[in-house]
Amino acid sequence: MVDISKINDNTYEVPIGYRPGMRVPGRIFVSAALREMVEPGTVDQVANVATLPGIVKYSMAMPDAHLGYGFPIGGVAAFREDGGIISPGGVGFDINCGVRLLRSDLEAKSVQPLINTLVSALFEAVPSGLGATGRLHATDQQLTEAFISGSKWAVEEGYGFEADLTHCEENGHMPGADPAQVSVRARKRGRPQLGTLGSGNHFLEIQRVEEIFDEEVAKKFGLFKGQITVMIHCGSRGAGHQICTDHLEVLSKAVKKYNIDIPDKQLACAPLGSPEADSYFGGMVCAANYAWANRHIIAHWTREVFKKYFPDSNLDLVYDVAHNVAKIEEHDVDGRRERLYVHRKGATRAFGPSRSEVPDAYRKVGQPVLIPGSMGTPSYVLCGNDRALDITFGSACHGAGRVMSRSQAIRTFTGKSVQDALNRDGIVVRATSPNMLAEEAPQVYKPSGDVVDVVHNLGIATKVAKLVPLGVSKG
């Protein structure tokens, strides 16, 4: 972390001049303890993003930031509609990887005796793993409708409830989808995977609310100490990955066509308003909507499992947030309202009470911000603050952030050792392969509590509740 300056206890600046061509400074939001975990390559990526045309204020990295494709994971950058760009590297391959939180009316003491049974039932009900195919068997027409309408389409098909939509970011579907920008191969990959969990850090987790930090906001969110919650973490599966791959090829050529000077080919981009930018945006929105439909279907099957064992219980949706997406939003920049394309890659929207995008149920306090843990470590529910609009364009962290590669994790841990350690801590886990458990060992991530404390102390989002895992289904 050389050549960067400390602004305050949780903010470091990468100055203009760190890298030739920087248009704005970089901002890395970390505490002193987390600062040492930020790789030099991540700092370089923050500086690289700062060279892109039309970038506003700062190139930013959240406290969970680590090396990514082009942009760091945990990266946030906003670009002016006039003169700016859009870049798949600022969204990621797993478009709209995100988190959905369901709250129950059950207390942990009534669920704990059945935790093994519940985890096994969820593992069977929700297909998971690399290349997993779902129970849905969607037709081409259904896939197209999912691309266009997201969770709204899922509700129309009988999955979930109309009321769920008001508790999703963008009501579970973004406008601007263009299925014509989805290739045959992306459709072929996506069609059989609707309603599947995926692999890597994705999970379906039964949790207990261990601690409440803000009683008033927790009550608004319907959370109480000792309560059972369920968290779903997944994205757009093979469809999103292929959409990103396809458009990266096009945008790599667009850089030369429009004479855009980039310091890293992974920052392939196109000017906003160009045909290439419009095509990517239309395809990206399809993938984002697919991901919302995917989580909606998984939530429906999760509810069915709980109804089987707890017939009188309900699982209500607290909120659903996207982690990897580019959104058109209005923000105040130097005293003027502007339309910006805000890229959040491994970052969560954290809007406060002043924003009309916050659902009516939460308008008085701000939107729920969902920060998943890392299989064995706590997850957190926070509340977005208006202060975040000035600091990060209304953005917060999205998880703990890796400090060890998957290959290194496999060399360091075994699936059995990870499972045994989780069992000793009273956590039941089911996974498709031992290697998956090794890759996702809790030790390969930053401490989730330390990451969350940074955004809390900055006033970007305030802590509401701490959730600890009881049982985990992994891809």
Q: What is the pLDDT of residues 40-84, one digit of tens each?
A: 999 999 999 999 999 999 999 999 999 999 999 999 999 999 999
231 token code pair: 């968290």
- Strand runs labelled E in 346-446: 348-349, 368-371, 379-384, 395-396, 428-430
Q: How far apart are CA 104 and CA 222, in angstroms?
A: 9
Residues 290-314, mean pLDDT to the nearest whole number: 97
Average confidence (pLDDT) over 137-157: 96
CB-side neighbour CA atoms (13 Å) of 337: 2
* Cα 239 to Cα 184: distance, rounded to the nearest angstrom: 10
d(CA 128, CA 139): 20
pLDDT tens profile 173-185: 999 999 999 999 9
Q: Is 457 helix (H, G, I), strand (E, B) or coil?
A: helix
- The closest of 71, 64, 66, 61 to 91, measured between CA atoms, is 71
* DSSP run (H or E) holding 416: helix 415-424
For the chain, the structural domain boundaries read 5-403+445-474
pLDDT of residue 433: 80
Closest CA to 345 of 42, 33, 5: 42
SS3 36: coil
Nearest of 172, 108, 98, 167 to residue 370 by alpha carbon: 98
The candidate with the shortest Cα–Cα distance to 349, out of 340, 339, 357, is: 357
Q: Domain 5-403+445-474, what fold?
A: tRNA-splicing ligase RtcB (3.90.1860)
62 Cβ contact list (under 8 Å, min separation 6): 29, 74, 75, 76, 346, 347, 392, 395, 396, 397, 398, 455
Q: What's residue 419's pLDDT?
A: 87
Q: Which of 303-317, 341-355, 400-414 is the least confident region?
A: 400-414
Residues 36 and 57: beta-carbon distance below 8 Å: no
CA–CA separation, 225 and 107 (whole Å): 9
Structure tokens that stand for 168 in this block:
């999703």
pLDDT band at 401 (very low <50, low <70, confident <90, very high): confident
- Residue pointed to by tokens 């196109």: 270
- Nearest CA to 196 out of 297, 287, 56, 305 is that of 297
Comparison of pLDDT for 202 and 198, the residue scoring more: 202
Q: CA 451, 57, 172, 355: dihedral to nearest 10 degrees?
A: 100
pLDDT 10s digits, 313-368: 999 999 999 999 999 999 999 999 999 999 999 999 999 999 999 999 999 999 99
Closest CA to 368 of 408, 439, 329, 316: 316
Comparing C-alpha atoms, which of 41, 36, 21, 28 is closest to residue 77? 28
Q: Do residues 90 and 324 make contact, with C-beta atoms less than 8 angstroms apart? A: no
pLDDT at residue 2, as a whole number: 47
Structure confidence at residue 1 as a pLDDT band (50, 70, 90): very low
Tell me whether strands 227-234 and 368-371 are parallel, antiparallel or unpaired: unpaired
Percent of the chain with pLDDT over 90: 82
Distance of CA 133 to the CA centre of its chain: 22
Neighbours of 55 (CB within 10 A): 22
Top pLDDT among 352 and 34 is at 352
106-115, 189-198, 429-438: range with highest mean pLDDT: 106-115
**Total residues belonging to the chain:** 475
Q: What is the C-alpha separation between 47 and 432, in angstroms, rounded?
A: 39
Lowest-confidence pick of 71-85, 113-127, 376-390, 437-451: 437-451
DSSP structural state of residue 72 = P
Task: Give the torsion sign (CA, 254, 256, 257, 262).
Answer: positive
Mean pLDDT of the chain: 94
**What share of residues in the chain are helix, strand, coil (percent, to 5)?**
40, 25, 35
Report, as residue numbers or ranges, the catalytic residues: 398
Q: Given pLDDT bands bounded at 50, 70 and 90, which one contains residue 127?
A: confident
Element (H, E) at 203: strand 203-212
Q: Which of 248-262, 323-337, 437-451 has the lowest mean pLDDT?
A: 437-451
Alpha carbons 244 and 224: distance in angstroms, whole number: 40
Longest dimension (CA), the chain: 63
